[in-house]
Chains A and B, each alone.
Chain A
Amino acid sequence: MLMTPSPIKISPADILSTAKGKSTRNEFRRRQGQPRKNQALRRRLTRKQFVAKGGAFQGGKRTSACEQESLYSRIKKQFNNLGEDLYLVVEQFEMVSRKVAESMDGNKPAEMVQDSTDPRSSQTSGGGKALPQKKYYRQRAHSNPICDHVFDYPTTPEEMNWNTLYPPSKLTNSRRVEFLDIGCGYGGLLVALSKMFPEKLMLGLEIRVKVQQYVQYRIEGLRKMYTGHYENIAVLRTNAMKYLPNYFHEGQIEKMFFLYPDPHFKKSKYKWRIINDTLLSEYAYILAKNAKVYTVTDVKDLHDWMVQHFTDHQLFEPVSDAEMESDPVSKIILDSTEEGKKVTRNKGDNFTCYLFSAKYIR
Chain B
Amino acid sequence: MSFVAANDKLLVLAGRDKVFVASLESLSRETTAIDISEARPVPVPSATTNSPSPKKVSVVCLTISTDSKYLCAADSDKYVYIYGKSKSGWKLLRYFQTEKRLLQMIFNNDSGYLAMTDKCGDVWLSDLVSEDAAIPRKILGHCSVILHTCLNAEGTRIFTCDRDEKIRVSSFPDSYIIKGYYMGHKEAVVSIALVFNDTHLFSVDIESNLKFWKVENKSCALTFNLFTVLRLTGEEATKSDFQISLMRATELNSTKVYLAMKVANYDKVPVFDFDLESLTVQLVGEVPINSTLFDFYWVGTSLFIACPDSSEGLIQVVITEDGKISEPKSCVIPQWEEIRTNMSSFIQFNQVCTIPLRKRVANDGLEKGPCNKVRATEDKVGDLKKVDGKKNVEKEPASA
Q: Is the CB of B399 within 8 A of A76?
A: yes
Rounded to whole angstroms, the CA-CA distance of A156 and B165 in the bound complex is 11
Interface residues in B344-386 (C-beta closer than 8 Å to A): 359-361, 366, 369-376, 379-380, 383-384
Chain B residue, CB-CB nearest to A63: B398
Chain B residue, CB-CB nearest to A117: B399
Q: Is the CB of B395 within 8 A of A164?
A: no
Shortest Cβ distance from residue B125 to the other chain A in the assembled complex, whole angstroms? 13
Q: Is the CB of B360 within 8 A of A150?
A: yes
Rounded to whole angstroms, the CA-CA distance of A84 and B393 in the bound complex is 29
Q: Is the CB of A242 within 8 A of B164?
A: yes
Q: Is the CB of B395 within 8 A of A152?
A: no
Contact digits for A102-115, partner B, Cβ 8 Å, 1 yes 0 no: 00000000000000
Q: Is the CB of B373 within 8 A of A155?
A: yes
Residue in A243, A285, A314 whose CB lies within 8 Å of B178? A285
Rounded to whole angstroms, the CA-CA distance of A361 and B174 in the bound complex is 11
Q: Which of B12-20, B136-144, B238-246, B290-298 contacts A (4 or more CB under 8 A)?
A: B136-144
Interface centre among B176, B180, B387, B398 (most CB of A within 10 A): B176
B43 contacts chain A at the CB level, 8 A cutoff: no
Rounded to whole angstroms, the CA-CA distance of A257 and B383 in the bound complex is 26
Interface centre among A151, A159, A315 (most CB of B within 10 A): A151
Q: B185 to chain A: which residues have CB within 8 Å? A: 155
Contact digits for A66-93, partner B, Cβ 8 Å, 1 yes 0 no: 1111101110110000000000000000
Shortest Cβ distance from residue A148 to the other chain B in the assembled complex, whole angstroms? 5
B251 contacts chain A at the CB level, 8 A cutoff: no
A281 contacts chain B at the CB level, 8 A cutoff: yes
B177 contacts chain A at the CB level, 8 A cutoff: yes
Shortest Cβ distance from residue B186 to the other chain A in the assembled complex, whole angstroms? 6
Q: Which of A134-142, A174-182, A217-225 contacts B (4 or more CB under 8 A)?
A: A134-142
Q: Is the CB of B390 within 8 A of A140?
A: yes
Q: A160 to chain B: which residues have CB within 8 Å? A: 371
Shortest Cβ distance from residue A231 to the other chain B in the assembled complex, whole angstroms? 16
Contact digits for A280-313, partner B, Cβ 8 Å, 1 yes 0 no: 1110110000000000000000000000000001
Chain B residue, CB-CB nearest to A285: B178
Q: Is the CB of A150 within 8 A of B395?
A: no
Known contacts being A152-B375, A159-B372, A361-B177, is A138 close to B394, with CB within 8 Å?
Answer: yes
A153 contacts chain B at the CB level, 8 A cutoff: yes
Chain A residue, CB-CB nearest to B145: A146
Interface size counted on chain A using CB atoms at 8 A: 58
Interface residues in B100-148 (C-beta closer than 8 Å to A): 120-122, 138, 140-144
Chain B residue, CB-CB nearest to A133: B397
Q: Is the CB of B393 within 8 A of A138?
A: yes
Chain B residue, CB-CB nearest to A277: B138
Q: A41 to chain B: which residues have CB within 8 Å? A: 392
Interface centre among B140, B373, B392, B400 (most CB of A within 10 A): B373
A341 contacts chain B at the CB level, 8 A cutoff: no
Interface centre among A139, A160, A164, A209 (most CB of B within 10 A): A209
Contact digits for A220-248, partner B, Cβ 8 Å, 1 yes 0 no: 00000000000000000000011101100
Rounded to whole angstroms, the CA-CA distance of A282 and B166 in the bound complex is 12
A118 contacts chain B at the CB level, 8 A cutoff: yes
Q: A155 to chain B: which residues have CB within 8 Å? A: 165, 183-186, 373
Q: B178 to chain A: which residues have CB within 8 Å? A: 281-282, 284-285
Q: Is the CB of B366 within 8 A of A150?
A: yes
Known contacts being A155-B183, A165-B370, A245-B166, is A68 close to B398, with CB within 8 Å?
Answer: yes
B90 contacts chain A at the CB level, 8 A cutoff: no
A18 contacts chain B at the CB level, 8 A cutoff: no
Q: Is the CB of B164 within 8 A of A150?
A: no
Q: B370 to chain A: which residues have CB within 8 Å? A: 152, 161, 164-165
Residue in B143, B387, B398 whose CB lies within 8 Å of A69? B398
A327 contacts chain B at the CB level, 8 A cutoff: no
Q: B184 to chain A: which residues have CB within 8 Å? A: 155-156
Interface residues in B141-184 (C-beta closer than 8 Å to A): 141-144, 164-166, 168, 170, 174-178, 180-181, 183-184
Rounded to whole angstroms, the CA-CA distance of A140 and B386 in the bound complex is 10
Q: Is the CB of B138 within 8 A of A278?
A: yes
A188 contacts chain B at the CB level, 8 A cutoff: no
Give 6 new A-B contacts, CB below 8 A, not counting A148-B360, A279-B143, A281-B140: A66-B395, A70-B397, A73-B397, A120-B397, A161-B372, A243-B164
Q: What would be 26 A-B contacts, judged by CB atoms less than 8 Å apart? A: A70-B397, A70-B399, A74-B399, A118-B399, A146-B143, A146-B144, A150-B359, A150-B366, A152-B366, A152-B369, A152-B371, A152-B374, A153-B371, A154-B373, A160-B371, A209-B380, A209-B383, A245-B166, A278-B142, A278-B143, A280-B176, A281-B175, A281-B176, A281-B177, A281-B178, A361-B177
**Pairs A-B, 3 closest by C-beta atoms:** A278-B141, A73-B399, A164-B370
Footprint of B on A, CB under 8 Å? 41, 66-70, 72-74, 76-77, 118, 120, 135-136, 138-140, 145-146, 148-157, 159-161, 164-165, 209-210, 241-243, 245-246, 250, 271, 276-282, 284-285, 313-315, 361-362
